[in-house]
C-alpha cells in the first residue's frame, strides 16, 4: 500500500480509481488526483470513497490496488462511490500458494513483560477463577455462585482478578459426539485450561447432551494451575451437577464452598518477568468503517510484526472477513499445505452460507456501510491488514489450541463475541480490538485493548477506547501508532487495566459458535 494524501483525501495505491475521505468533504470541494483537478459532486463523509477516474458500468472498483466490487452504472470523477453504484460480482483469484513467502524478521530478544508463570510452564496475563457452565440450564446458577464473590470479599485476595462465570445459551439439543458437541467441548475446555484461569469448577444440570463428565474426560480437564498442589487424578475434576446435588440453592452453596477453598491457593501467584515471545495476541475488528483498513488495522499489523520478531504469536480470525482477500494470504503461506487449509475453510464458508440462502456479502453491517464500507471484499482487504506482513505459519479450526509461533489464522465467524471466544479458547492471552463505529468490547479472562480508527469517535467514546489510531488521518505514521500499540500490549499484559476492564466488561461476551441444527 503506497499511501499519499491531500488535504481531504487519502490515495492508497496508484492502481486505485477511488480515494478515501480523511474528513467529511462538502460538495463542490476541489481536489487533485493523479495530476488532474476535480470537484466533488456531492458530500463525501469521512471514511467514504470518491471516484478519481471515470469508472464505466461493469468495470472493477479498485481500492488497496485490489478489486472491491464492480460499477453498477457509469461513475464520473468526483462522485461518491458506495452501495448505490457498486455491486459485488464474482472474483477470479490466483492463490499462488507459497509464491511470495516473506523472510523471517530479524529476531529481537530480551524484552519481557510481567506475567504469571503457571506450574505447567504457560504464561498468563491475568488470574481468574472460572465457573464453566456446561449448558444454559446451569448458567443462572453459575452466575449466582460468582455473584457471591463481590469486590469486598475478593479484596482479601488481591492477586485474583475475579470469579468468572463462563455461561452460554447452548449445551443441549445437539448430536451427541457430533461436530457441534465437540466444538462446544473444545471451546469450554479452552477456557477451563486457559493460562489466565488459575482454577475452575464445572457446573452442569445433569441431563444435558453436553455432559460434564464427557467434557472432562474427552478434554483431559484437571486442576493443573494451582501452585503448591499436586495435580489430582484426571478422573476427579471438580464437577457439580445440579440434579445430583439437589437443585439451585444446594448447588450454589456447594459451589461457593468450593471456590472459597480455591481462593487462597489461586491468590499465591505473583507477577514475574516473562519473555514477550510467550504472548499470544488475538486480533479482531468490530464496528469497522472505511478508516479501519487505513489507520487502526495496518497499525495493528505493524504491532503484530513486532510481536513476531520478538518470537511471539499473532492470530488473525474472522474468516468471513478474509473472503475476497484470501489470495493475499495464500501467497504468504510458508507451504502450499498451509495455504490450502485456508482455502478449504473459504470453500466451507461458501457452502455453509449457501445452505441458508445467504451470501457472505451480507456480512457488512448497517454500521459498516454507514462508515463507508461497501462490499465484503473491501472490508476483508482492510481487515487482513491486522495480520501484518510476515509469513503465514498455520491455519487453525475454531477454538483449537494455538501451538505455532509467528503469524497464524483461526477460522471464526465475523461476529465479534463468537470470534474472540474462539481466539481466547485457543489460548490467546491478550486481545487487540479495532473499531470505527465504537464497539464497547471486553472478553474475560483475556484483556482487550480497543483501538479507534478515527478521532471523532475516539473523542466521543474516550471512556471505552484505549488508543486513537485516527491521528494517522492527520499525518501521524502507521509505524508510530503500531509501536504505541505494541507498548500498550506489553503494559496491559503486565497488569495495566484496559478501559473495558476498568468498567468490568467481559462477563457476558462468551459466545461459542453453534454450527449445526438445534434438535
d(CA 375, CA 66): 13
How far are the Cα atoms of 199, 218, 231 from residue 270, in angstroms, in the given order?
Answer: 15, 32, 20
R_g of the chain computed on alpha carbons: 24
**Which residue blocks in 167-247 are alpha helix, DSSP H?**
179-192, 212-219, 242-245
d(CA 116, CA 139): 29
d(CA 154, CA 161): 8
d(CA 357, CA 282): 31
Q: Name, in order, each residue with C-beta under 8 angstroms of 347's C-beta and a sequence gap of 6 or more.
A: none
pTM of the model: 0.95
Angle subtended at Cα 349 by Cα 347 and Cα 355, rounded to the nearest 5 degrees: 110
**Which residue blocks in 320-413 are alpha helix, DSSP H?**
327-330, 336-354, 366-370, 376-383
d(CA 288, CA 369): 9
pLDDT of residue 222: 66
In Å, how far from its chain's centre is CA 477? 24
How far are the Cα atoms of 43, 287, 438 from residue 490, in angstroms, in the given order?
Answer: 42, 25, 23
Residue-wise burial string across 456-495, b where 16 or more C-beta atoms lie within 10 A, e elsewhere: ebbeebeebbbbbbbbbbeebebeebbebbbebbbebbeb
Burial level of 404, CB count in 10 A (0-12/13-18/19+)? middle
**Which residue blocks in 7-135 are alpha helix, DSSP H?**
none
CB 424 within 8 A of CB 280: no
Residue-wise burial string across 10-46, b where 16 or more C-beta atoms lie within 10 A, e elsewhere: bbbbeebbbbbbbbebeeebebebeeeebebbeebbb
pLDDT tens series, the chain, 519 aa: 556 667 899 999 999 999 999 999 999 999 999 889 999 999 999 999 999 999 999 999 999 999 999 999 999 999 999 999 999 999 999 999 999 999 999 999 999 999 999 999 999 999 999 999 999 999 999 999 999 998 888 999 999 999 999 999 999 999 999 999 999 999 999 999 999 999 999 999 999 999 999 999 999 886 544 444 555 443 345 899 999 999 999 999 999 999 999 999 999 999 999 999 999 999 999 999 999 999 999 999 999 999 999 999 999 999 999 999 999 999 999 999 999 999 999 999 999 999 999 888 776 788 999 999 999 999 999 999 999 999 999 999 999 999 999 999 999 999 999 999 999 999 999 999 999 999 999 999 999 999 999 999 999 999 999 999 999 999 999 999 999 999 999 999 999 999 999 999 999 999 999 999 999
Angle subtended at Cα 423 by Cα 422 and Cα 425, rounded to the nearest 5 degrees: 65
Cis ω on the peptide bond leading into residue 381 (within 30° of 0)?
Answer: no
d(CA 101, CA 331): 6
pLDDT of residue 34: 85
Write phi, then psi, for 489 (nearest 5 degrees).
Answer: -60, -45
Write phi, then psi, for 188 (nearest 5 degrees).
Answer: -65, -45
pLDDT of residue 1: 58
d(CA 296, CA 304): 12
d(CA 341, CA 339): 5
d(CA 267, CA 198): 9
Closest-CA residue to 222 (of 241, 197, 244): 197
CB 281 within 8 A of CB 304: yes
Angle subtended at Cα 466 by Cα 460 and Cα 471, rounded to the nearest 5 degrees: 70
The secondary structure of residue 207, as a DSSP letter, is S
How far are the Cα atoms of 72, 160, 276, 392 from residue 312, in angstroms, in the given order?
Answer: 45, 26, 6, 13
**Which grid cell is 67?**
478489486
CB 166 within 8 A of CB 130: yes
**Which grid cell is 405?**
509461533
d(CA 38, CA 50): 10
Amino acid at each position: 500500500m503506497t499511501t499519499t494524501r491531500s488535504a481531504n483525501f487519502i490515495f492508497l495505491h496508484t492502481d486505485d480509481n477511488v480515494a478515501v475521505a480523511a474528513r467529511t468533504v462538502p460538495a463542490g470541494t476541489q481536489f487533485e488526483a493523479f495530476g488532474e483537478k476535480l470537484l466533488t459532486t456531492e458530500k463525501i463523509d469521512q471514511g467514504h470513497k470518491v471516484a478519481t477516474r471515470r469508472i464505466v458500468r461493469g468495470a472493477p472498483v479498485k481500492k488497496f490496488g485490489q478489486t472491491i466490487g464492480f460499477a453498477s452504472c457509469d461513475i464520473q470523477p468526483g462522485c461518491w462511490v458506495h452501495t448505490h453504484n457498486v455491486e459485488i460480482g464474482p472474483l477470479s483469484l490466483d492463490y499462488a500458494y507459497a509464491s511470495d513467502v516473506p523472510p523471517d524478521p530479524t529476531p529481537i530478544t530480551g524484552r519481557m513483560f510481567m506475567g504469571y508463570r503457571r506450574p505447567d510452564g504457560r504464561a498468563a496475563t491475568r488470574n481468574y477463577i472460572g465457573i464453566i457452565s456446561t449448558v444454559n440450564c446451569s448458567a443462572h446458577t453459575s452466575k449466582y455462585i460468582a455473584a457471591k464473590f463481590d469486590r469486598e470479599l475478593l479484596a482479601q485476595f488481591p492477586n485474583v482478578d475475579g470469579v468468572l462465570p463462563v455461561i452460554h445459551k447452548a449445551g443441549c439439543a445437539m448430536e451427541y459426539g457430533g461436530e457441534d458437541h465437540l466444538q462446544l467441548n473444545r471451546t469450554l475446555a479452552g477456557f477451563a485450561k486457559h493460562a489466565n484461569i488459575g482454577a475452575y469448577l464445572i457446573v452442569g444440570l445433569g441431563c444435558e447432551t453436553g455432559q460434564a463428565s464427557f467434557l472432562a474426560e474427552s478434554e483431559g480437564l484437571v486442576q493443573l494451575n494451582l501452585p503448591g498442589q499436586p495435580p489430582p487424578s484426571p478422573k476427579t475434576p471438580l464437577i457439580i451437577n445440579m440434579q445430583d446435588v439437589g437443585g439451585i440453592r444446594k448447588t450454589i452453596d456447594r459451589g461457593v464452598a468450593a471456590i472459597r477453598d480455591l481462593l487462597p491457593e489461586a491468590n499465591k501467584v505473583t507477577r514475574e518477568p516473562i519473555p514477550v515471545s510467550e504472548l499470544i495476541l488475538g486480533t479482531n475488528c468490530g464496528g469497522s468503517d472505511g478508516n479501519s483498513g487505513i489507520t487502526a488495522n495496518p497499525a495493528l499489523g505493524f504491532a503484530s510484526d513486532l510481536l513476531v520478531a520478538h518470537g511471539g504469536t499473532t492470530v488473525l480470525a474472522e474468516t468471513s472477513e478474509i473472503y475476497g482477500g484470501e489470495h493475499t494470504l495464500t501467497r504468504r503461506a510458508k507451504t502450499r499445505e498451509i495455504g490450502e487449509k485456508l482455502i478449504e475453510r473459504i470453500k466451507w464458508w461458501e457452502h455453509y452460507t449457501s445452505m441458508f440462502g445467504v451470501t457472505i456479502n451480507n456480512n457488512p453491517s448497517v454500521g459498516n456501510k454507514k462508515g463507508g464500507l461497501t462490499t465484503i471484499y473491501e472490508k476483508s482487504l482492510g481487515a487482513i491488514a491486522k495480520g501484518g506482513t510476515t509469513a503465514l505459519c498455520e491455519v487453525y479450526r475454531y477454538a483449537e489450541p494455538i501451538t505455532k509461533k509467528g503469524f497464524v489464522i483461526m477460522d471464526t465467524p465475523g461476529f465479534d463475541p463468537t470470534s474472540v471466544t474462539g481466539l481466547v479458547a485457543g489460548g490467546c492471552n491478550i486481545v487487540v480490538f479495532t473499531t470505527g463505529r465504537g464497539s464497547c468490547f471486553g472478553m474475560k479472562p483475556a484483556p482487550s485493548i480497543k483501538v479507534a480508527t478515527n478521532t471523532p469517535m475516539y473523542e466521543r467514546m474516550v471512556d471505552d477506547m484505549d488508543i486513537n489510531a485516527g491521528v494517522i488521518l492527520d499525518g501521524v505514521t502507521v509505524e508510530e501508532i503500531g509501536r504505541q500499540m505494541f507498548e500498550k500490549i506489553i503494559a496491559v499484559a503486565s497488569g495495566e487495566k484496559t478501559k473495558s476492564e476498568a468498567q468490568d466488561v467481559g462477563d457476558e461476551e462468551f459466545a461459542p459458535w453453534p454450527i449445526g441444527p438445534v434438535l
